[in-house]
Structure 1
């Protein structure tokens, strides 16, 4: 059996040179910056047809996750309040309708998150 070959660092591998104008390089660099990848990593990912996510997309998912958590906490507080103050301040049917709306909003937020993460339409 042959001993396992140690992977060489990328910097030791032969590069591919691409001739681009100043404007093209700036446009490619801007796209790489949007993904949080280096220029080299971005071009490799594009060349290998690897799905690339924008840093903005990932930030949006984080923001949506926080909103989803906030909705859950508000619904939990409302439920606690109702348990202690049953029938005071709001009709039960109105509260039940609001709870349904909370759950629907949470579902919509989760759907938006999955569209950003998995790229579905």
Structure 2
């Protein structure tokens, strides 16, 4: 195969198909392509060739959940440190106050609520 034949086999030099769509259909197609992290052309090509389109939003939600879970672990460790009255706390001069514990517990609750929201947004 010479160079000219190789150039003709690329998508750039391939056939371009035109499909008339309504404005509302255009928006839907663009949104769906974006959700799959694909260009409109690649999205339509894959659909027409029978490939299953998977959303990348679910993996983004899972990544956010993993980060929140790590935050929960750190907050739990901090709470455990405070409740055991560790000598490290006295060395830095930070006394344990009920207000600090309440604030930490509220932060843990907020993280739990955020994790629940993200899990509910996942499509199973």
* TM-score, L = length of structure 2: 0.49
Higher relative contact order (CA 8 A, sep 6+): 1
Larger Rg: 2
* TM-score, L = length of structure 1: 0.50
